[in-house]
Chain A
Amino acid sequence: MSKQIIVPFGPQHPVLPEPLHLDLVLEDETVIDVIPTIGYVHRGLEKLVEKREYTEYVFIAERICGICSFIHSQTYVQGIEAIMGIEVPERTQYLRTIWSEYSRLHSHLLWLGLFADGMGFESVFMNAWRLREHILDDLEATTGGRVIQGVCKVGGVRRDISHEKLDDMVKGLKGMEKDLHDLTSVFLHDPSVSHRLKGIGVLGKADAYELGAVGPTARGSGLAIDIRETGYAAFDKINFRPVVEHDGDCYARCAVRAKEMFTSIDIIEQCVRKIPDGPVDVKVTGAPDGEYFSRAEQPRGEVIHYIKGNGKKNLVRHRVRTPTFTNIPPLVKLLKGCELADVPVIVLTIDPCIGCAER
């Protein structure tokens, strides 16, 4: 047996935009064990629920993550509405679906850019972020914020989208779809990209299930887990199938994300076709009394908001289980046995969002 050495990876590392620390135990160039550490950006957002009114806390729930911000506020608001028995109008459900799919597109394009940049494929990075700018422009034009939309509230949404704007948005997405197709096909069919990703960091279906992988990490391993299929918001009226790949390697996870962007565009199109007229919010009185587990599908996987209230304006407990947090045990499994040079690529394929994971 050769000598073991420990190489610290992160929290500051060129490929990591966020502070995740991994202690890699190496034998020669092979990783034989990984000890993950988080806790560099803990902000105590869940504790703040005791200090803020449940209606104001939406703004804080939204700030848990800077990328999937809309879906965090949506999940929180859905939980409160379920406890209080509020029936939100149908138009609101469709608007929430449209915005959540927009944030999925924006998150996947951001990931594609960062991932390509991490591998040294700079032109894909530039092109992905140029396309992402269209998505952000549409988000800003409809909600008022590029990244922090601030559009969800208990009992509905704060902004409506006109029919002309909805048609414009679909037209813009249709125009973008062709560029996106060019971009993803260049990325996925490039021989050097395939060589770098295929057969590396393989997570079997049974392992993915047992270690609790969620989102594209699970779907890349052949597990068809997609919380959108439970039919929250307007997803029960939309016809779509989750994208599943069976190889379980880095390439499969990338392919899932690349193909999901087209599913998102299709969902938005269906929503715009089916969206009914009507009000976008209802009046809310009283305070939540009870507890609820609210689930939603984020770009990175399933997010759970546990909410408990006791009939007062301030909630008693709020706990968030974010997808990156659940994807850390599968990441440890993926890294065991790989080469040191493959570590950055494997870490980026689970799309880590540490700001989310630590709240």
Chain B
Amino acid sequence: MTFFQMTKTVIKNLFRGPSTLMYPAKPAKKTNLSRGHVSIKPEGCITCRSCQRKCPTGAICVEVKEKSWQIDNMRCVVCSACVDVCPTRCLTMETQYRAPLTARGGKEKYTVAGPKKKEPAATDEAKPKE
């Protein structure tokens, strides 16, 4: 009896295509919620450092004076805590995985817009100097 059951499965498998994908020639199946990697729109970042505080692995480093945002991809565990906390929604979760990295090549640094309120103050300071 079991023999016939197995034969049924075998015959089914013969006529069905393979269950595996030819990755990476064909891209992996991804859904809207899939967590691939974090990306930033630098023009939206106000250097509030919420993402840096919430990151459980300390992968994000925000320099307020330098107006820079840096992520260490070797440390990032793609938990999406930074994306959830970002007040300006400039951090987004991409669905595809990042390409493999070496231990030294994981850091990405972006120059960001910085806080919005300070811009008029900076121009005010610049005027008297002229």
Q: Is A142 an interface residue (CB 8 A)?
A: yes
Contacts of B33 in A (CB 8 A): 140-144, 159
Contacts of B19 in A (CB 8 A): 130, 133
Determine whether the beta carbon of A182 is less than 8 Å from that of B29: no
Contacts of A150 in B (CB 8 A): 35, 79-80
Given the complex of chains A and B, what is the CA–CA distance between A190 and B84 in angstroms?
A: 50
Q: How far is the CB of B33 from chain A (nearest CB, A)?
A: 4
- A186 in complex: contacting residue of B6, B29, B34, CB < 8 Å: B6
Q: Tally of A-B residue pairs with Cβ under 8 A?
A: 54
* Of A52-60, A101-109, A207-215, A231-239, the one touching chain B: A52-60
Contacts of B29 in A (CB 8 A): 137
Interface residues of A in 126-171 (CB under 8 A from B): 127, 130, 133, 137, 140-145, 148, 150, 158-159
Determine whether the beta carbon of A158 is less than 8 Å from that of B84: yes
Q: Is B81 an interface residue (CB 8 A)?
A: yes
Determine whether the beta carbon of A127 is less than 8 Å from that of B9: yes
Interface residues of B in 1-24 (CB under 8 A from A): 1-2, 5-6, 8-10, 19
Contacts of A145 in B (CB 8 A): 34-35
Give the nearest-CB partner of A141 in chain B: B31
Determine whether the beta carbon of B2 is less than 8 Å from that of A56: no
Q: Is A230 an interface residue (CB 8 A)?
A: no
Given the complex of chains A and B, what is the CA–CA distance between A144 and B2 in angstroms?
A: 39
Q: Is B56 an interface residue (CB 8 A)?
A: yes
Determine whether the beta carbon of A144 is less than 8 Å from that of B5: no
Determine whether the beta carbon of B31 is less than 8 Å from that of A186: no
Contacts of B113 in A (CB 8 A): none
- A60 in complex: contacting residue of B1, B35, B56, CB < 8 Å: B56
Determine whether the beta carbon of B9 is less than 8 Å from that of A185: no
Contacts of B5 in A (CB 8 A): 182, 185-186
Contacts of B80 in A (CB 8 A): 144, 150, 158
Q: Is A195 an interface residue (CB 8 A)?
A: no
Contacts of B56 in A (CB 8 A): 52, 56-57, 59-60
Determine whether the beta carbon of A140 is less than 8 Å from that of B81: no
Total interface residues on A, CB under 8 Å, equals 28
What sequence of 0s and 1s flags, for each residue 116-128 of chain A, a beta carbon within 8 Å of any chain B beta carbon? 0000000100010
- A140 in complex: contacting residue of B9, B31, B54, B77, CB < 8 Å: B31
Q: Is A189 an interface residue (CB 8 A)?
A: yes
Determine whether the beta carbon of B34 is less than 8 Å from that of A189: no
Determine whether the beta carbon of B54 is less than 8 Å from that of A185: no
Contacts of B34 in A (CB 8 A): 140, 144-145
Given the complex of chains A and B, what is the CA–CA distance between A144 and B33 in angstroms?
A: 5
Given contacts A56-B54, A59-B81, contact A182 B35 (CB under 8 A): no
Interface residues of B in 49-66 (CB under 8 A from A): 54, 56
Given the complex of chains A and B, what is the CA–CA distance between A143 and B8 in angstroms?
A: 35
Contacts of B93 in A (CB 8 A): 144
Given the complex of chains A and B, what is the CA–CA distance between A132 and B14 in angstroms?
A: 20
Determine whether the beta carbon of B79 is less than 8 Å from that of A59: yes
What sequence of 0s and 1s flags, for each residue 41-63 of chain A, a beta carbon within 8 Å of any chain B beta carbon? 00000000000100011011001
- B81 in complex: contacting residue of A56, A143, A183, CB < 8 Å: A56
Contacts of B6 in A (CB 8 A): 123, 186
Contacts of A183 in B (CB 8 A): 9
Determine whether the beta carbon of B79 is less than 8 Å from that of A186: no
Q: How far is the CB of A126 from chain B (nearest CB, A)?
A: 8
Contacts of B10 in A (CB 8 A): 123
Given the complex of chains A and B, what is the CA–CA distance between A143 and B31 in angstroms?
A: 10
Give the nearest-CB partner of B93 in chain A: A144
Given the complex of chains A and B, what is the CA–CA distance between A183 and B8 in angstroms?
A: 11
Given the complex of chains A and B, what is the CA–CA distance between A150 and B81 in angstroms?
A: 9
Contacts of A127 in B (CB 8 A): 9
Given the complex of chains A and B, what is the CA–CA distance between A307 and B81 in angstroms?
A: 23
Q: How far is the CB of B84 from chain A (nearest CB, A)?
A: 7
Q: Which 4 A-B pairs have the closest CB atoms?
A: A144-B33, A56-B56, A141-B31, A144-B35
Q: 4 more A-B contacts (CB under 8 A) besides A150-B79, A189-B2?
A: A52-B56, A63-B77, A130-B19, A182-B9
